[in-house]
Amino acid sequence: MTETSQPAAPVRASRIAEVPFSRRVVAFLQTYGILIIIALLMGWLTTQSSSFLTPLNLLNILNQSAPLAIIACALTLVIIGGGFDLSAGAIFGVASVSAAWLAVNVDPTVGLIAGPLVGLLLGIVNGLIITGFNVHSFLATLASSMVFRGIAILITGGALIPVRMPEFAFLGRGKIGMVNVAVIVFLVFAAAMTFLLTRTTFGRRVFAVGGNEEAAILSGVRTNLVKIATFGLTGFAAGLAGVIAVSRISMGQPQAGVGMELDAIAAVILGGTSIYGGKGAVWRSIAGVLLLALIGNGFNILNVNPFFKDLTTGLIIVVAVALSAGRKRR
């Protein structure tokens, strides 16, 4: 047994040596290309503006990106599992107005706690609809987003809900030292999602479902439960992000989060997570969010026409999708 296993390392080494250098370079760029782009963009912006590479500006970028990054972290699991969630923005809106209403009418702490739980509940509803009725996640979440927007309007009556309470604003505006509480919450959540995806049986099952659902079923994986769990986590993340946002502006509004789900999907795809499922990482999605944030921040610093920002972002997303499709064909 030992004798037959000894040549394994040389064999693997010879196989690696057989891979053309150009292929290894392409593979490296596909894995770490977004980090290279971020580094080059930061270097260029540093030369263009002395105010860019300052702790205050960098922390501000992280703080402003925290809600979107939280959603992107959880949405990564949905997309790796072969699904899509177009209701994250609507869940964001429902959770934010629910938190504001409870803060005003019950207690600020209850509002802050209830927001993510409302999101979790709505995410589970999405998962149950998708698995129970065997509906494609794209269509199911598109429909549920309309329903959730209606719920947000019912909660508020179409009006704004002002929340003027310091204890409620702490989550969105509070700081520990120079770092915003929202950034700390984002980092903790990102670490939790990374651990869940890479160090647990559940994470392995998410990859299995997205890679080949039929094979996962034959292997005994309860694929429906995995899907429900991923959509529930995304709902929780959207609710948490909504609570951070409403705490920051001290105002609950039913149209909050419109289009946010598209930004989150764009960030996940930019990070290199495959739109076909079965491949991706949380850190990639965070890198995608940071790239979008750097583009926006850089264009604001340079006072460039916002049209060019959208054009640049769109072109980068097209390239990312094309690379993902190319990897899938290979």
pLDDT at 324: 63
DSSP string, 144-167: HHHHHHHHHHHHHTTS-EE---HH
pTM score over 0.85: yes
Cα torsion 13, 16, 21, 27 to 10°: value is -130
**What is the reported pLDDT for 275?**
86
Buried b (16+ CB within 10 A) or exposed e, 285-300: bbbbbbbbbbbbbbbe
For residues 25-57, one letter each, b for 16 or more C-beta atoms within 10 angstroms of the residue's C-beta and e for the rest, the string is: ebeeeeeebbeebbeebeeebeeebeebeeeee
pLDDT of the chain, 330 residues: tens digit per residue:
444 444 555 555 545 456 687 778 777 777 788 888 899 989 988 888 888 888 998 999 999 999 999 999 999 999 999 999 999 999 999 999 999 999 999 999 999 999 999 999 999 999 999 999 999 999 999 999 999 999 999 999 989 999 989 999 999 999 999 999 999 999 999 999 999 999 999 999 999 999 999 999 999 999 999 999 999 999 999 999 999 999 999 999 999 999 899 899 989 988 889 888 999 999 999 999 999 998 888 888 777 777 777 787 778 777 777 766 655 555
3-state secondary structure of 176: strand
Yes or no: say if 199 and 285 are a contact pair by the CB < 8 Å rule. no
How many Å apart are CA 133 and CA 211, to the nearest integer? 22
Q: What are phi and psi of 84, to 5 degrees?
A: -135, 150
Domain boundaries of the chain, sorted by first residue: 55-258
Q: Which pLDDT value is given to residue 1?
A: 42
Question: Quick one: pLDDT at residue 10?
Answer: 54
Q: How high is the pLDDT of residue 329?
A: 56
The pLDDT of residue 322 is 72
* 3 state SS for 90-127: HHHHHHHHHHHHHHHHCCHHHHHHHHHHHHHHHHHHHH
Give the pLDDT score at 325: 62
The confidence score (pLDDT) of residue 4 equals: 44
Quickly count: other Cβ atoms within 10 Å of residue 278's Cβ. 19
Q: Is 158 left (phi over 0), alpha (psi -120 to 50) or beta?
A: left
CA distance 195 to 136: 28
